[in-house]
Structure 1
Amino acid sequence: MSVKSLSSDAGLSRRSVLATLSGSVAAVALARTAWAQDVDPTVDAPAVSTPVPEVMPEPVAEPIGPQPFSFDWLDARMSEAAQSDYQAPVAAAEVITDLDYDDYRKIQFNPLRARWRDEGVLFQVHAFHPGWLYKDTVTVHEVVDGMQVPMAFSTDDFLYYEDLAARVSPHVALPGVAGFRLNSPLNRADKFDELVAFVGASYFRALARDSSYGLSARGLAINTGLSGEEEFPRFTEFWLERPAVGQDTVVFYAALESPSCTGAYRFVIRPGEETVIDVTAKLHFRRDVEQLGVAALTSMFLFDEKNSDAFDDYRPQVHDSNALMVVRRDGDVLWRPLNNPPRLASSYLSEPNLKSFGLIQRDRAFEDYQDAGAHYQDRPSVLIEPQGDWGPGAIRLVEIPSDLEGNDNIVSFWVPSEKPKAGETREYVYRLRWGALGTDRDGDRAWIVNTLAGQGGTSGVSGAKASLRKFVIDFDGGLMAGLPADAEMEPVVTLSGGKIQHIALSKIENTTRWRLVIDVDGGNERLVELVAHVAGFGRKLTETWIYQWVRT
């Protein structure tokens, strides 16, 4: 493993960093409103009153006849599209003009109009209404027996509350939708719950059993966290295969467009205690790309025990993910706790022995967060398992300063070493696992329970150097848990700058936990990277802890 770190002041405040480098962050944060569009089917929609509507009724367009569809057909179509310059989407006529945040919350999809509701299958399709932030619409098709037909939507498919009821006429065809959601009996056999939602650029979220929405995935990231402008590829069309009765997986396809590339995507989703999404992405490049981000994840980390003093908040932790986790093929686990840094920070983990990587929410108790509304303990972890040979590359982690939990300020993705060239075609196949993942409680190696940090030196003694920092790592489980307090083990600690002042390993009394304490003098270093694990009895006994100390 090799680790490279970058950080930058660039004269930017937290607010300006978020504004300039996280258009994706804003898109995801605001998209949470769209993903919440749902309604109790027992509640009657408000009556439509008589004033003249903003849009006069138009007949719903007659669908064209069925046309053949296959993934090969879609891939060939996107390959051909890559030979032409990118065409920005043309703004469609809005059914309701000047929608704002509050207006958009008054629109909900009518579950009684869900597609496939009357087919007796285990999945149903809901749509997101266009407007507000979602003026660029997408087209949805249904595929049955290899034949595609448009899945048309109209104002009849939505419920409009309060004053919006008077501003919309029935039977008005929509020019497209903002995105779609699939529901399935995820938690109970008699109730269709939200399973996955695609809305905004190439973002999507999924749920596992007993989880709540948290981090997001992206179809593709281009030039994220670089000094130039980030590019946001977007899914423009979807093809949903109608599942057979009793089929517990659903398959659909997507066309991706951006100025730099096109893509044909295939998704196979299997819901359950872990929801699994198998992704095949075939990319065709219009032009050279400086940085390609494959299997990108976007999350939020505001604070936990190691930086909670920066926030006047009754909650001990606020985050969608604890850490970036990398699993090697030999079973070794790298655990990189997330930070909310004082300035933009970035890490590259070059790992040739990669089995999986992802953003993990390891703390699973309500007491860890004390938030009765957000349910952070139920936010899913996501592990990405590359299929086949992705070639050399690195996992990049970008951490953006943030003052608000509504801002998703964490991005991770795979960066291939070889930059894509114009005219090139690439294929990436991978599996996304969503759920309460990331802790092997039956394994031989102890896992990392906590990372704590504070002023270095001896507690309760004044005069400690400002450059001294104390890091505390707690381990539990594995073979180490049953060892006596006097067992001979060796902490193995390295750092990229500064000096180690003190290392101590001890067992926490009346528990199975062990605590590793490291005091580091950062000197004049602006950034210090630390790596640590515990070894003994001829083997590695713990996960590998990796930490980036970004100094103010």
Structure 2
Amino acid sequence: MKPFSRRTLIAGGLGALAAGALTPAFARAQGTAERFSHDDVLEQARALSQQPFTAPPPLPEALRALDYETYRAIRFRREAAVWAHSGSKFSVQMFAPGSLYGDPVDVLLVESGRARPVEISADAFETPTPAIGELLAEVSRLAGFRLHYPINTPGYADEFVVFQGASYFRAVSRGQTYGLSARGLAIDTAEPGGEEFPIFRRFWIERPSPRMDAIVVHALLDSRRVTGAYRFGIYPGAPTVMDVSATLFPRERLSHVGLGCLTSMYMHGPVDPPEAPDFRPRVHDSMGLAVQTGTGERLWRPLSNPRTLQVSAFLDRNPRGFGLAQRPRAFDDYQDLEARYDTRPSAWVSPQGDWGAGHVQLVEIPSDFEGNDNIVAYWRPEGGLQAGEPHAFAYRLSWPDDLVPAGRLGQVARSAFGRRLTDNRPQMVVDWTNPAGARIEDISVEASVSAGLLLGRTVAPNPVTGGYRAYLTFDPQNASLLEMRLRPFASGAPIGETWLYRWTRGSDR
């Protein structure tokens, strides 16, 4: 049996509200169609925030008890795909509830301005036994859905977006395979008292016309302390782009909330070697965190798989963007024939409007299994959210191959840890690209460490890549943690991303 992963566990163990807590206009009456607009989602979220959180009745025991392999064998029939024969370029396939996905959701289809619940028949899914199909029809609710569109070739509708589990969703662009995920909202991530996982408990999917290359999804979010109304304008392509707008309605004050949340996996790479031998040079869905600050500085922070939980904060006001990047794109960088980490997407959050003061928060969780998501990144607004005060925000979320800095700013191509040959002192090695064509004699690097001693920094040309390489040698002395910073300049102007890294004792294995 395939081992369970944190990705599945955190998506499956959540509570939702009973259907009876919703307004009667959106009851799950089979075949009932009601007028719909996004204002209805806003009103439901607002009304729901005035009520205490209520958990739903559980799924039948026979569905909750399904083991992982049996659940995986339940598949929505391709011929039953919604809108597959309507002339639209988009179609929708459903996920069945059960196993770890014990919190079923409602999915409604919007056509000509009217919403109708998806009806689940006993033969909608291919199931290991007829009894499972009958149970699914009896429950008549779902665990989520996936969107299909001919993103790679004109004649085949590829799966390119998934909404399933809690407030998780993920997407791919042309030529990619699934990797990191996004979340509608993060609450109390890495706090000692535990994390609260909101859920998308109801979805509305608008049917695109045959001429449209975009699709709109609305979602009702709910959790113990907050509700929310979300709208996703989704544009498949190279890259796939989502325009996300949301309004949150806190039931209680939320001191720690994360907007534009991304989750990923990092096991090891050149800067953070594995404890056990591995034939693969790298194992990760994302290589680093990129931030475009409100003042325009571009930051690059390589990820790590720490021995203890690490939480980093990058203070800012009105950030221009942040994201997690899978920067190496060649198979030789990974050597994994099955996972194909070289084809995993990056993700970039571009805030729209005024996000105010706060910080980008990066959480790195120790992990010994690559099926676990152990990286979380999001914007944490200063002061949190106040009870009874709606909070509206919007952002554009794109899923490109890489996060390339704008203009002629060089990107960090590689970070690695080693030791100086002459005295065995610890040393960080960083390579930048050089799109500005700066001469090596004009390049200097600002360097600093927050503790211990900075023993030296040198810059050398990299004739293989056409870029340049910096060596930072340090002595941590008694420090258990230190922050490093490198920023390259030429003729007084920055020519590359600002490289940041948190070294912790034992991280060099």
| Fold match (TM-score > 0.5) | yes
Corresponding position of 2:21 = none
Corresponding position of 2:96 = 129
Q: How far apart, CA to CA, are the structure 2 residues paired with 1:432 and 1:171?
A: 34
Q: Identify which of 108, 115, 125 aligns with 1:148.
A: 115
CA 435–204 in structure 1, closer or farther in 2 if over 3 Å, else same: same
CA contact (8 A) 2:12 2:103 kept: no
SS in 2 for 1:103: helix
Corresponding position of 2:24 = none
**Residues 1:491 and 2:439 are matched in the alignment:** no
**Residues 1:434 and 2:391 are matched in the alignment:** no
CA 415–183 in structure 1, closer or farther in 2 if over 3 Å, else same: same
* Post-superposition CA distance 1:487-521 (Å, at most 9, x none): 13221012211110111111124541211000111
Corresponding position of 1:56 = none
Corresponding position of 1:41 = none
Q: How far apart, CA to CA, are the structure 1 residues paired with 2:207 and 2:396?
A: 22
Identity value in percent: 38
Corresponding position of 1:458 = 421
CA RMSD of aligned residues (A): 2.2
Corresponding position of 2:306 = 341
**Residues 1:446 and 2:403 are matched in the alignment:** no
* Post-superposition CA distance 1:422-455 (Å, at most 9, x none): 2111011011001213124x73222111101123
Aligned residue runs from structure 1 range 313-352, under 5 A: 313-328=278-293, 331-352=296-317
**Residues 1:268 and 2:233 are matched in the alignment:** yes
CA contact (8 A) 1:92 1:175 kept: no
CA contact (8 A) 1:26 1:407 kept: no
Task: State the one-letter code of the partner of 1:453.
Answer: F
Aligned residue runs from structure 1 range 468-487, under 5 A: 468-480=425-437, 483=439, 485=440, 487=441
Task: State the one-letter code of the partner of 2:442.
Answer: E
Q: How far apart, CA to CA, are the structure 2 residues paired with 1:171 and 1:405?
A: 32
Pick which of 218-227 and 488-497 moved more.
488-497
Aligned residue runs from structure 1 range 222-261, under 5 A: 222-261=187-226
CA contact (8 A) 2:13 2:102 kept: no
* Post-superposition CA distance 1:322-374 (Å, at most 9, x none): 00001235653210000001100010001225211000010000000001111
Normalised TM-score (structure 1): 0.85
Q: How far apart, CA to CA, are the structure 2 residues paired with 1:418 and 1:229?
A: 20
Aligned residue runs from structure 1 range 79-94, under 5 A: 79-93=46-60
Q: How far apart, CA to CA, are the structure 1 residues paired with 2:174 and 2:465?
A: 31
CA contact (8 A) 2:331 2:342 kept: yes
Equivalent pairs counted in the alignment come to 490
CA contact (8 A) 2:12 2:100 kept: no
Corresponding position of 1:420 = 385
Shift of the alpha carbon at 1:216? 0.4
Shift of the alpha carbon at 1:175? 2.9
Normalised TM-score (structure 2): 0.92
Corresponding position of 1:385 = 350
**Residues 1:103 and 2:67 are matched in the alignment:** no
Task: State the one-letter code of the partner of 1:323.
Answer: G
Aligned residue runs from structure 1 range 29-428, under 5 A: 63-93=30-60, 96=63, 98-161=65-128, 164-165=129-130, 168-169=133-134, 172-328=137-293, 331-352=296-317, 354-428=319-393
SS in 1 for 2:363: strand
CA contact (8 A) 1:25 1:408 kept: no
SS in 1 for 2:486: strand
Shift of the alpha carbon at 1:538? 2.6
SS in 2 for 1:81: helix
CA contact (8 A) 1:269 1:277 kept: yes
Q: How far apart, CA to CA, are the structure 2 residues paired with 1:431 and 1:70?
A: 21
Q: How far apart, CA to CA, are the structure 1 residues paired with 2:145 and 2:415?
A: 39
* Post-superposition CA distance 1:63-96 (Å, at most 9, x none): 2432121111211121111111111122133664
Corresponding position of 2:20 = none
CA 89–340 in structure 1, closer or farther in 2 if over 3 Å, else same: same
* Post-superposition CA distance 1:201-241 (Å, at most 9, x none): 00001110000000000000100111112100001100111
Q: How far apart, CA to CA, are the structure 1 residues paired with 2:187 and 2:344?
A: 26
**Residues 1:523 and 2:480 are matched in the alignment:** no
CA contact (8 A) 1:24 1:232 kept: no
CA 342–30 in structure 1, closer or farther in 2 if over 3 Å, else same: same
* Post-superposition CA distance 1:435-483 (Å, at most 9, x none): 213124x73222111101123x435x5xx4xxx4210001113224x52
Shift of the alpha carbon at 1:266? 0.6
Task: State the one-letter code of the partner of 2:325.
Answer: I
Corresponding position of 1:3 = none
Q: How far apart, CA to CA, are the structure 2 residues paired with 1:270 and 1:344?
A: 36
